[in-house]
Amino acid sequence: MSAVDLANLPVIRIHPADDVVIARRQLLGGTVVASEGITVAGLVPPGHKIAVRPIAAGASVRRYNQIIGTATQAIAPGQHVHTHNLAFSHFERAHEVGTAVQPTAYVAQPATFQGIVRADGRVATRNYIGVLTSVNCSATAARAIADHFRRDVHPEALADYPNVDGVVALTHGAGCATDSEGEELQVLRRTLGGYARHPNFAAVLVVGLGCETNQIQGLMAQEGLQAGARLHAFSIQDTGGTAKTVARGVEIIEGLLKEANRVQRVPVPASHLTVGLQCGGSDGYSGISANPALGAAVDRLVRHGGAAILSETPEIYGGEHLLTRRAVSQAVADKLITRIRWWEQYTARNGMSMDNNPSAGNKAGGLTTILEKSLGAIAKSGTTNLVDVVEFAQAVGARGLVYMDTPGYDPVSATGQVAGGANLICFTTGRGSAYGCAPSPSLKLSTNSALWRKQGDDIDIDCGGIIDAGETIDEVGERIFALMLAAASGRKTKSELHGYGQNEFVPWQLGAVM
């Protein structure tokens, strides 16, 4: 049977051993699914699961040939399988190491994109000037500085600097009322340091208040930053108040624009791409269409010498054994399992469960447990080897697939990835997440064509053809890889056109607010 013929079936079977199939469209009670020998009992929404065999109460339920939960009651063939009869359950997972490692078939002639080569040899995909803050108290001043250069409000401000993508203020709600020697402050400084060094910034201003816990000199010392032509730092209290601070910031940026505008794009190998992988507003199709298609693009990127960052630890939970099989060493696998154990302890001491992760929208889209969501989320990492595991906002130097420990909350997770060096984000969604980030462009991939038709001004590429038009995962993966190169070369993404990026800078706040 051809791919087009399969696309006409009312359901999708992922693996022969699965206990469930996935509805391609809304199915009414009485619908006969001849390919499975079942009759649908009751209404089943698109993207939701249908039992294909009797499942006893207490029995494990499989999708992707992996356990996604335990039946809370007996389930008959044809019945809808969801939160009313399926629950999260703990089960033992064999963390085999390296059993799926395979040689990487690097291409002889890597693809190229039009990148911006900085003086130190690093390559940028965008050319911004950034205004960072040490503390929430300096956020208003930082935004006022950046707003002076908004093209939609003051088009004349950057009229003579067409090669500057903009001036952005990345503010946050932390920086004080925390342990001056604690992990909370160290992680915030690591995040700010990663942004201050990011090649997508031609220059950076750091604006502080003056009396905060996150002293600018402490930030500079921890992160090895040096004031100079590319990095300026000052505080409101030392400058003499808000108005003088804004005026000083505007004056500094006006002096930086001419040099920042001198850049030009030149062909560079795709090995200079570091792509952060995100999925949010997921649905029952995420693990079937957009995520595996992004995984196919990741496999291509790695063969061309690039790097991809998989993250969102609560959203790989229950499927981490699939990643340890791809770990290139015991040490890499151990680092991943250590982060999994940390998350189990972290949620427990905060009175939460790892299964608290799926949102209302995830469940409405057909995802029932974190186990099910995780298995689909891991698909966006492709099949390549796992070469390293890093903590939140740590610099990513390895090429290939790297895991970064982050929360599942997309703005926080992507903030860590960009701090680690991601110069492009790829974000899959089945529900229509509204997201973008600065200074790295973000591509949005829809899991289904209904979302593309409804919210196409937010989506860069539709992967729904895998579900309903006979497209293959590899074909869509090739299109995604081409779009990565185009976006890295300067093509504006949908989120950039909408002006997303500044509000989505959200450092991870780990500790107590004092």
Residues 66 and 164 in one domain: no
Let me know if residue 514 belongs to a domain.
no
Residues 375 and 292 in one domain: yes
| CATH number of the domain within which 256 lies | 3.40.50
Is the pLDDT score of 5 beyond 70? no
Residues 243 and 289 in one domain: no
Let me know if residue 108 belongs to a domain.
no
Distances (CA, A) of 222 to 99, 214, 330: 39, 11, 30
Q: Which one, of 368, 431, 360, lies nearest residue 49 by Cα?
A: 368
Let me know if residue 118 belongs to a domain.
no
- Residue 514 banded pLDDT, cuts 50, 70, 90: confident
Q: Can you point out the beta strands (E) in 213-363?
A: 231-235, 265-269, 274-279, 307-310
Is the pLDDT score of 3 beyond 60? no
Per residue in 96-109, pLDDT (tens digit) is 999 999 999 999 99
Residues 229 and 281 in one domain: no
Per residue in 221-247, pLDDT (tens digit) is 999 999 999 999 999 999 999 999 999
pTM of the model: 0.96
Distance between CA 366 and CA 420 in Å, rounded?
Answer: 33
**Phi, psi at residue 327, to the nearest 5°?**
-70, 135
Residues 195 and 234 in one domain: yes
Which of 234, 262, 290 finishes a domain? 262
Residues 198 and 273 in one domain: no
Let me know if residue 166 belongs to a domain.
yes
Say what the pLDDT of residue 2 is: 52
- Residue 296 banded pLDDT, cuts 50, 70, 90: very high
Q: With contact defined as beta carbons under 8 Å apart, do 187 and 415 qualify?
A: no
Residues 250 and 307 in one domain: no
- Residue 1 banded pLDDT, cuts 50, 70, 90: very low
Q: Provide mean pLDDT across the span 378-390.
A: 98
User: For residue 15, how far is the Cα from the chain centroid?
Assistant: 27
Residues 335 and 452 in one domain: yes
Structure tokens at 67: 């356990």
Residues 211 and 149 in one domain: yes
Per residue in 182-201, pLDDT (tens digit) is 999 999 999 999 999 999 99
Q: Which one, of 270, 285, 266, 297, lies nearest residue 127 by Cα?
A: 266
The strand pair at 66-71 and 166-170 is best described as unpaired
Per residue in 82-128, pLDDT (tens digit) is 999 999 988 788 899 999 999 999 999 999 999 999 999 999 999 99
Domain range for residue 471?
A: 268-498
Is the pLDDT score of 7 beyond 80? no
Is the pLDDT score of 466 beyond 70? yes
Let me know if residue 237 belongs to a domain.
yes
Number of compact structural domains in the chain? 3
Residues 200 and 76 in one domain: no
The strand pair at 49-51 and 80-81 is best described as antiparallel
Let me know if residue 156 belongs to a domain.
yes
Residues 134 and 239 in one domain: yes
Residues 439 and 370 in one domain: yes
| CATH number of the domain within which 73 lies | 2.30.130.110
The dihedral over CA atoms of 439, 380, 362, 36, expressed in degrees to the nearest 10, equals 160
